Amino acid sequence: MKITEILAAGPSWSFEFFPPRTEAARAALGTALAELEPLRPSFVSVTYGAGGSTRELTHEIVVGIHRDTSLTPMAHLTCVGHRRAELTEIVTRYRDAGIRNILALGGDPPRDVELPPGELTYAVELVRLVREVGDFSIGVAAHPEPHPRSASKADDRLHTAEKLAEADFAITQFFFDAAHYFDLVEGLRAHGVSKPVIPGIMPATSIGSIRRMAELQGSEFPRRLAAKLEAVADDPEAVFRVGVDEATELCRELLAGGAPGLHFYTLNRSRATRIIYEALGLAPEGVPGPAPAERP
């Protein structure tokens, strides 16, 4: 099913996974998929490593989800370091495997690997290439705060509007203050773009890792949230609970403000997503929530 059709039918609830690099990580992904499938998400997505470092593994997981589960998958794809012919081949393989959803990203080059020059520079160019290959539903990324490489917020909003005008929907990077999301949506509307923008949610269940990821993508880590987490820093379970509770309230605020759904960055674990899902009343009837003693 195409995500455009899903979004046209009402709010969407989606989960994101990344390709595992070890056998233990592969087992964790399998467990997360098995535990989250009963929640009947609208779709799931699988990330793509910088410079194509997970090209085959991403393809394997996306096609496996399509073939072996009831889930609707979306493949991430970046253009950095790729020639046009390579990208066309990747998209053609997805088309031939029955995949109908792609998240088109510019991508960031890896810090420790020198890549050959790519032939595409911007995500909007990748959107056009995907359109040429097949009938896909195409998403792009949006940065509520905005992208750290943007010259200004106004510049970021303009470029996001330009690529979203050619794509079908956007998914945001994670953030911790709903005001950033609503500002993004209003900024896009000011440029005449009103296509769905799905907010990305990542509960702050680990202080160090969330801080690092937030710094990399240019997200603000609110002092209020930091203070709550640091107050219980010696108790990992308490940190987890604070992060999940804060994320749940963020979700409620976003939905009350008209967000067209929620996209959960699962980090290949299910517990936080299942707790939030249950708290929001999204879990299908009869699906049990996680046990209180279950660890993340």
Of 16, 125, 145, 246, which one is the catalytic site residue?
16
Least Cα distance to 58 among 72, 77, 71, 44 occurs for 77
Q: What are 200's strand-pairing partners?
A: 174, 263
Q: What are phi and psi of 17, to 5 degrees?
A: -125, 165
Rounded CA gap, 196 and 139, in Å?
Answer: 10
Q: Which amino acid is at 274?
A: R
Which one-letter amino acid corresponds to residue 225? L
Summarize the chain as % helix, strand, coil (round to 5).
Answer: 50, 15, 40
User: In the structure encoding, which two tokens stand for residue 37, read together?
Assistant: 């499938």
Cα torsion angle, 283, 284, 285, 291, sign? negative
CA atoms of 64 and 56, how far apart (whole Å):
12
Q: Give the residue among 155, 32, 43 at the shortest CA–CA distance from 99.
A: 43
With a CB cutoff of 8 Å and minimum separation 6, the contacts of 63 are 73, 94, 97, 99
DSSP 39: G
How many Cβ atoms from other residues are within 10 Å of residue 283's Cβ? Answer: 19
The whole-angstrom separation of Cα 296 and Cα 254 is 24
Asked about 16 being catalytic, the answer comes back as yes
Give me the active site residues, please. Answer: 16
